[in-house]
Amino acid sequence: MSDTIESIKQQISDNAILLYMKGSPQLPQCGFSAQAVQALMACGEKFAFVNILDNPDIRSELPKYASWPTFPQLWIDGELVGGCDIIVEMYQNGELEPMVKAAAAKSAEASSDS
């Protein structure tokens, strides 16, 4: 298995809420990433991100690993939630925030146990 896939697995397991995106939350570099960040930020929890523009190896390998061709990609508790349309739709219908809050609470609990 490639080092890149190992890095991706590590990132996903180390971060309860992880967004693979173009740019950063402060400076998204595509409209879809910007929409995903807005929906996530509106949930009120901190989240990790990986700028795939700075990581071409991840940009090329993650779609194969995730079986999901596009970015952004939101991962919560090690599971791929989806891309921009799914993130925004889940936020609008009230599904995203409880999922994000639960993952953040579980992550905080786990880090206070260690």
CATH code of the domain made up of 3-113:
3.40.30.10
Q: According to the model, what pLDDT value does residue 1 have? A: 63
Does 101 carry a binding-site annotation? no
Does 22 carry a binding-site annotation? yes
Q: According to the model, what pLDDT value does residue 32 have? A: 98
Query: Rounded distance, CA 13 to CA 110, Å?
Result: 13
Does 84 carry a binding-site annotation? yes
Specify the 3-state DSSP secondary structure of 67: coil
pLDDT above 70 for 114: no
Domain ranges in the chain are: 3-113
- The pTM (predicted TM-score) of the whole model is 0.94
**Mean pLDDT in the chain?**
95
**Position of tokens 């609008």?**
92
pLDDT tens profile 61-100: 999 999 999 999 999 999 999 999 999 999 999 999 999 9
Task: Decide: 66 and 18 in contact? Cβ < 8 Å.
Answer: no
